[in-house]
Amino acid sequence: MAPANVDPDVVSDSSSSSDPLDTTNDEGWEDVEQDEEPITVVSLFDDKTFPDASSMLTYCRDSQNFDIWKLRQDLGLDFLGLIKLVNYVRSEVSAGNAHPTVSSKSVFDDDKYLKPVLEDDALLYSLDDVFLDDEAANSAPASEVDQLREQLATLQSQFAAYRDQVQSAMLDRLDVQEGNPESSSTARTTSRQGPADKDNTEEFDKDYFKSYSYNSIHESMIKDRVRTDAYRDFIYDHKDLFKDRVVLDVGCGTGILSMFCAKAGAKLVIAVDNSDIIDKAREHVYTNNLQDTVKCLRGKIEEVQLPVEKVDIIVSEWMGYCLLYESMLDSVLYARDRYLAPDGLMVPSHASLRIAPLADSEFKASHIDFWRDVYGFDMTPMLERAHEEVIVRVMDKNELATESVPFLELDLHNTKVADLTFTKPFAAKWKGGFKVLEGFVVWFDIIFATDRKQNVDAGMTATEAKKSGLVAFSTGPATEATHWQQGIFLIENPGKAEEFTEGDSIAGEITYLKKKGQERSLDIEISWSKASEKGRSKKQMWVLD
């Protein structure tokens, strides 16, 4: 998520060159927009076309007695009311009713009229120009224009998202006609990287946000009962924390957490996401009649302009595999530093990473040794990079040779981005019944505190937190499986040095590093040895991408 005020009418000099709507240096785009398919506004009542919305609506006022300026004032229409009015009139005229009734707001106050009747209706994203243009509104009293300006200012963020959506759809259509398979909406992603890293980082970000546009990933997350129930239970069981509060949902996805907060009594919920799923979130909000509380904004949290200065609560489901894969926590911490009130609450509030050795496992036999004899054939070349990648699977808790130990604890109210790249020690006592160290298993626990000053002991497990009355969950192998599963780090060619006996202490360090140009991926290095043989430690690097 990264910087740009999403006001569509103001584009800075520094960003204009990357604006897909800026055709100054692009002859191809100039040809498409100016020569082949100029944008025109179609009349509400006939087939006449106009070069702008103001002249079309003036025509409708003079020839059809349809005065949108007066209707807006008399009926008290907000921006969405105007959208519904336009689509209602187009729908009625299309059905043969040349004089649709507009005497009452209730006639067209149905969410079905949020759906455009006319494909690529330029009027819908030109309405702001109509009411911000004094000349076009010269038939309205000055006081009305002032009121419109004030009301439009409060709706600016919502309108920007809607306009961006309409423009994106029109650009995508042009792209298809020009043979360009890339979506214009994804092409708008910007970066704060230097020139050397910009292209790779933008491409990686584009793929990342595109991956969250598909139903399957959101289905797996919502169906993860451990995850979704924990958020729901915390929000619904602590409605006193949310009542009349302003909440920011970073990376809102389908909007499920935002709707939980709205149902819990929040005064305003601002739902932000940079993938196409934000369109579905917006539909979900309207379908469930929560549009007066939940406002959906498309963009990176570092770029969008919120309609408020501060929020009381930040809620986000930011966790990735091995906790920090995808680096979404960076954006959540940005949101905290920029928008959270001094006494505001992070939901969830605490996270911890845990590690345990894997020994004498069936997993190694099925994942590695399998290739040594496949229907009688030696297929060991398949193992060339098998030990370089983190494997995400559900592990058997009975194959862990020690109790798990924490190696990173985060209090989300105080954590810094720099804390997310680290080298941390760990040490554990070897249990009986295990011999050969074959790898390591990593997972995380999440805790929801009700107050930023609430005492959460360092290293506290989710189970311990629940016993103390807190909402919490674990992604470890001893609890119900989650969609995060566990990260498995298999050691290449375990040998004599990896043999332990009961009571031995195994100690080491684990390092998390972000990949340059692919900051959402991780390089993870683990070193280990018997505590009594520190000078003979071994280490290995794995990739999580």
Q: Summarize pLDDT for 12-61 with one digit per residue, the tens.
A: 444 444 444 444 454 444 444 444 456 789 999 998 998 888 888 989 89
Give which of 254, 239, 235 is closest to 315, Cα–Cα.
Answer: 235
**Residue 285 CA from chain centroid, whole number:** 16
Q: Please compute the mean of the pLDDT values over residues 251-277 and round it to a whole number.
A: 95
Is 206 a domain residue?
no
More confident residue, 496 or 24: 496
For position 167, what pLDDT does the model report?
A: 52
Residue 224 in any domain: the answer is yes
Question: What's the first-to-final CA gap in the chain, in angstroms?
Answer: 19
Cβ 522 vs Cβ 512: under 8 Å: yes
Q: What is the pLDDT of residue 141?
A: 46
Residue 16 three-state SS: helix
Same domain, 358 and 496: yes
Which position has the token pair 């997972």? 443
For 362, other C-beta atoms within 10 Å of its C-beta total 11
Mean pLDDT confidence for 278-305: 94
Residue 138 lies in a domain: no
* Greatest mean pLDDT among 3-12, 76-85, 160-169, 252-261: 252-261
Question: How much of the chain exceeds pLDDT 90, in percent?
Answer: 49
User: Residue 532 above 80 pLDDT?
Assistant: no
Residues 374 and 489 in one domain: yes
Same domain membership, residue 390 and residue 312: no
CATH code at 393?
2.70.160.11
CA distance 283 to 273: 14
- Whether the per-residue pLDDT at 364 is higher than 50: the answer is yes
pLDDT at 313 over 70: yes
Examine the domain organization and report whether 285 and 355 are in the same domain: no
Residue with tokens 């590690």: 355
Average pLDDT over every residue of 119-132: 78
| Residue 305 and residue 441 in one domain | no
Distances, alpha carbon 231 to alpha carbons 90, 183, 259, 317, 536, in Å: 42, 33, 11, 9, 45
| CA 191 distance to own-chain centroid | 16
Q: Is 92 in the active site?
A: no
Residue 272 contacts residue 250 (beta carbons within 8 Å): yes
- For residue 518, what pLDDT is reported? 67
Is 46 in the same domain as 115?
A: yes
Evaluate if residue 209 carries a pLDDT over 50: no
Shared domain check, 380 and 291: no
Identity of residue 482? T
The catalytic position among 202, 303, 317, 498 is: 317
pLDDT at 152: 56
Confidence of residue 466 (pLDDT cuts 50, 70, 90): very high
Name the phi and psi angles at 335, rounded to 5: -60, -40
Is residue 302 domain-shared with residue 358, that is, in the same domain?
no
- 490 assigned to some structural domain: yes
pTM: 0.62
Amino acid identity at 200: N
Task: Write down the pLDDT at residue 447.
Answer: 97
Provide the domain count of the chain. Answer: 3
Examine residue 258 and state whether it is found in any structural domain, yes or no. Answer: yes
Angle at which helices 68-75 and 79-94 pack, to 10 degrees? 120
DSSP state of 34: I
**Which is nearest to 474 in space by CA: 452, 450, 513, 442?**
442
- Residue 487 forms beta bridges with which residues? 392, 442
> For residue 233, is pLDDT > 90?
yes
- Is 70 exceeded by the pLDDT of residue 211? no
Average pLDDT for 511-539? 82
pLDDT at 198: 47
What is the distance between the alpha carbons of residues 173 and 184, in angstroms, rounded to a whole number?
9
Mean pLDDT of all residues in 157-169: 53
| 283 and 432 belong to one structural domain | no
- Choose the final residue of a domain: 291, 317, 343: 317
Check residues 338 and 516 and name the one with the higher pLDDT: 338
Are 360 and 311 members of one domain?
Answer: no
Does the pLDDT value for residue 243 go beyond 90?
Answer: yes
The answer to whether position 45 is within a domain reads: yes
Whether 371 and 424 share a structural domain: yes
67 in a structural domain: yes
Q: Is residue 161 very low, low, confident or very high in pLDDT (cuts 50, 70, 90)?
A: low
- Which one has a higher pLDDT value, 457 or 230? 230
Q: Does residue 529 fall inside a structural domain?
A: yes
Q: 317 catalytic, yes or no?
A: yes
Last residue of a domain, one of 273, 292, 317: 317
Q: Which of 246, 307, 296 is nearest to 273 (CA)?
A: 296
Q: 254: domain CATH number?
A: 3.40.50.150
- Say if residues 439 and 221 touch (Cβ distance below 8 Å): no
Go through 425-448 and write b for each residue having 16 or more CB atoms within 10 A of its CB, e for each that does not: ebebebbeebebbbbbbbbbbbbb
User: Which among 137-151, 344-358, 451-465 has the top mean pLDDT?
Assistant: 344-358
Catalytic residue among 92, 202, 326, 399: 326
For residues 279 and 372, membership in a common domain is answered with no
**Which helix (DSSP H) or strand (DSSP E) does residue 426 occupy?**
strand 422-429
Please provide residue 123's backbone torsions phi and psi, each rounded to the nearest 5 degrees: -60, -35
Domain containing 228 equals 213-317
Residue % of the chain over a pLDDT of 70: 75
CB 201 within 8 A of CB 330: no
The pLDDT mean for the chain works out to 80
For the record, the structure tokens of 121 come out as 């209706």
pLDDT > 50? residue 92: yes
- 337 within 8 A of 305, measured Cβ to Cβ: no
- C-alpha 289/C-alpha 154 separation (Å) is 20
Q: How far apart are CA 511 and CA 424, in angstroms?
A: 6
| Cα–Cα distance measured from residue 351 to residue 354, given in angstroms and rounded to the nearest whole number | 10
Residue range 418-442: mean pLDDT, rounded: 95
